[in-house]
Amino acid sequence: MDRRIRETTGARELPGEPANRRFHLVQAAPVARNIGAEARGLITSGEGTYVVDENGRQLIDGPAGMWCINVGHRNEILANVMRDQAMALTYSTPWYTSNEPAETLAEMLSARAPGDLRHVFFTTGGSSAVETAIRLMQFYNNVRGKPQKKLLISRQGSYHGSTHLTASLNGRPRDHDWMDGVDLVRKLSSPSVFHGAQGLSVEAFEDHLVDEFRRLIEQEGADRIGAFIAEPIQASGGVLVSPANYLKRMHALCRQNDILYISDEVVTAFGRLGHIFASEDVFGIQPDMITFAKGVTSGYFPLGGVMVSARIFDELRKSDHPNATFVHGLTYSSHPIGCAVAIRNIELLEDGLLEHAREVSPYFQHRLKTLEDLPLVGEVRGMGLMAGVECVADPSAKNPLNLDLAVGKRIDFHCQQKGLLVRPLINMCVMSPPLIITRTQIDTMVAVLREGIASTANDLI
Ligand code: PLP
């Protein structure tokens, strides 16, 4: 097949974006404003499942912002909570005071988290949550007299953040092009059946993945490995779902080898899989720490955190070393406005939204799956209200497309013309709409996506 890209004129960015343009700066801006933002249309407002762009075009918010606007846009209840809290108490330092919303939220999370995850440290988002979890592991092992036990195990296909340490854990294609990481990380294979199984049955692939971890532990030594970190579903890697018992078996290996298991639920918690936390309710594991962010406030306020097990916390408290102080703090930890929003957000989730998400998810997955008949689509996969559509050169052979074709962005470009915002991921696109999405809106979303993928296929001929 001729893979030349037809030049398209007039489009602000796509199709025909230069293949080597990997560092995204706002185009044609008089000054370099907002580094990292791409030259997209401006979004000016939002309501429910929709956003409106600068041209007045209404778009279904396919990715719910970045997997986060769980209750939908322009929720008046949350807006009022923010205003009321700002008028009552805008801020209190987390160093030597606390505030009521933070205390209440801590209680609520502790009551909902699995196992003995009773303690929480609030952060400002997902990266700072993962960073905090790692620093807790380091401190924990220092206190226990195991200062050499610090290696971090992550996986190809994962995304854990954009600070130096968390980005070092990331494992998606191109994550490390032109960027430096830290030498504390070892990576296992992605558990993606589509990419990794290569002729093996799903069960055999699962065995292979678990064996790989076992071998790595033998090779590095359990006494040098501090933590294993895993998203229950690799979200930004393309919604990569692992074989059925993989997470349980990885968790068991961690327990056997005194390796802390950090479940990164920045995407999967707060309703995306129909539960407040998915680790236990969906995957049957009780991790040592759970990191969360995004959906905890439905994206209305930057807040994240780490749930920490009582087992770890009690160990830390036992230390009688005079210098054993966990020196770690963020100015906006436990922010009263963020915590107040999170409390009300959780109430809204529990007042029917989780149930709605669970009810509508099978329809969402089923309708998206119908796109697999398109020649460009290799696989549609997902769980709950998150799904990935992966494009390939040849679906029967699962041949990957040249990454520079940026097919995801092309699909997004075409879909936006027809009223749908898509989250592009190299040659994939991801759908994770607000949890309030209706069946009719799902139908529209899938119909537009079908047209967008077909138009993209035309671009590539
Ligand atoms: N962990 C996961 C699983 C994520 O998906 C993300 C962001 O998408 C992060 C961590 C980082 O969160 P933040 O962007 O809030 O720093």
Report the nearest atom of ligand 1 relative to the CA of 268: 3
Higher pLDDT: 131 or 321? It is 131
Q: Which residues pair with 263 in a beta bridge?
A: 230, 290
- Of the candidate ranges 36-40, 309-313, 348-352, 410-414, the one whose mean pLDDT is the lowest: 36-40
Q: What is the pLDDT of residue 58?
A: 97
Instruction: State both tokens at 386.
Output: 């998150």
pLDDT at site 41: 73
Rounded to 5 degrees, what are φ and ψ at 232? Answer: -55, -40
For residue 15, whether the previous peptide bond is cis, meaning omega lies within 30 degrees of 0, is: yes
Locate 309 and state its tokens: 């097990």
Please work out, in degrees rounded to the nearest 5, the angle formed at the alpha carbon of residue 267 by the alpha carbons of 261 and 270: 100
The rounded distance, in Å, linking the Cα atoms of 276 and 105 is 13
Contacts of residue 294, defined as CB under 8 A and 6 or more positions apart, other chains included, come to 66, 67, 68, 70, 125, 126, 266, 267, 270, 304
Q: Ligand 1 pocket, 129 CB below 6 A? A: no
Q: Residue 95 above 90 pLDDT?
A: no
Q: What is the DSSP string of 265-320?
A: -TTTTTTTTSSS--TTTTT----SEEEE-GGGGTTSS--EEEEE-HHHHHHHHH--
What is residue 437's predicted lDDT score, i.e. its pLDDT?
A: 98
* CB-ligand 1 contact for 301 (6 Å cutoff): no
Residue 454 structure tokens: 């077909």
Q: How far does residue 131's CA lie from ligand 1's centre (Å)? A: 11
Q: 89 C-alpha to center of ligand 1: Å?
A: 28
| Ligand 1 center from residue 180 Cα (angstroms) | 19
pLDDT digits (tens, 9 = 90+) for 97-123: 999 999 999 999 999 999 999 999 999
Looking from the CA of 434 toward its CB, the CA atoms found within 13 Å total: 25
Render pLDDT for 438-452 as a digit per residue (tens, 0 to 9): 999 999 999 999 999
Instruction: Compute the half-sphere exposure of residue 431: CA atoms within 13 Å on the CB side of its CA.
Output: 32
Tokens at residue 259, please?
């390796």
Distance of CA 126 from the midpoint of ligand 1 (Å): 4
pLDDT band at 178 (very low <50, low <70, confident <90, very high): confident
Mean pLDDT of 355-372: 98
Q: 58: part of which helix (H) or strand (E)? A: strand 58-61
Both tokens of 56, joined, read: 């007045």
Average pLDDT estimate for 323-333: 88
* Among candidate residues 369, 442, 345, 398, the one with its CA nearest the CA of residue 104: 345
Q: Is 231 in the pocket of ligand 1 (CB under 6 A)?
A: yes
Helix (H) or strand (E) holding 264: strand 260-264
Given a contact cutoff of 8 angstroms between Cβ atoms, the answer to whether 210 and 246 are in contact is yes
Tell me how far the alpha carbon of residue 67 lies from the centroid of ligand 1, in angstroms: 10
Residue 316, pLDDT score: 85
pLDDT average, residue stretch 402-429: 90
- Average pLDDT over the chain, rounded to whole? 90
What is the rounded average pLDDT of the residues 254-259? 98
- When pLDDT is cut at 50, 70 and 90, the band that residue 40 belongs to is low
Reported ipTM: the value is: 0.99
| Token pair of 404 as six digits | 């520079």
- Answer yes or no: is pLDDT of 276 > 90: yes
- Residue 3 Cα to ligand 1 middle (Å): 34
Average pLDDT value for residue range 345-365: 98
* For residues 312-322, average pLDDT: 82
Report whether residue 292 contacts ligand 1, using a CB cutoff of 6 Å: no
Task: Choose one of 169, 267, 272, 297 to mutate for the ligand 1 pocket test, by most ligand atoms within 8 angstroms of C-beta.
Answer: 267
3-state secondary structure 145-158: CCCCCCEEEEECCC
Cα 64 to chain centroid, rounded? 12
> Dmax of the chain from CA atoms?
69
Q: What's the confidence (pLDDT) of residue 173?
A: 80
pLDDT at 15 over 60: no
Mean pLDDT of 228-246: 97
The pLDDT of residue 3 is 32
Q: Is 235 in the pocket of ligand 1 (CB under 6 A)?
A: yes
pLDDT at position 405, please?
82
Rounded distance from Cα 64 to ligand 1 centre (Å): 14
pTM for the whole structure:
0.92
Res 14: pLDDT: 47
Nearest one of 304, 296, 223, 233 to 263, comparing CA atoms = 233
Whole-Å CA distances, 201 to 37, 122, 194: 41, 42, 11
Predicted pLDDT at 398: 75
Q: What is the mean pLDDT of residues 300-315?
A: 96
| Closest C-alpha residue for ligand 1 atom 10 | 160
Whole-number Å distance between alpha carbons of 438 and 225? 45
Residue 346 in contact with ligand 1 by CB distance below 6 A: no
Closest by CA position to 25, among listed 11, 35, 12, 14: 35
Provide the percentage of residues in the chain whose pLDDT is more than 90.
77
> Using one digit for the tens of pLDDT, what is the confidence trace for 282-302?
999 999 999 999 999 999 999
**Residue 213 and residue 164: Cα distance in Å, rounded?**
24
Mutate to test the pocket of ligand 1, among 164, 266, 430 (most ligand atoms within 8 A of CB): 266
Using pLDDT thresholds of 50, 70 and 90, give the confidence band for residue 248: very high
pLDDT score for 253: 98
Asked whether the beta carbons of 68 and 294 are under 8 A apart, the reply is yes
Q: Is the pLDDT confidence value at 5 over 50?
A: no
159 lines ligand 1 (CB under 6 A): yes
Q: 101, 336 in Cβ contact below 8 A?
A: yes
- Distance from Cα 341 to the centre of ligand 1, integer Å: 19
Ligand 1 center from residue 350 Cα (angstroms): 23
Average pLDDT of the residues in 364-371: 98
- Ligand 1 atom showing the smallest separation from residue 67 Cα: 8
The Å distance, Cα 13 to ligand 1 centre, comes to: 26
**Residue 430 clears pLDDT 60, i.e. is over it:** yes
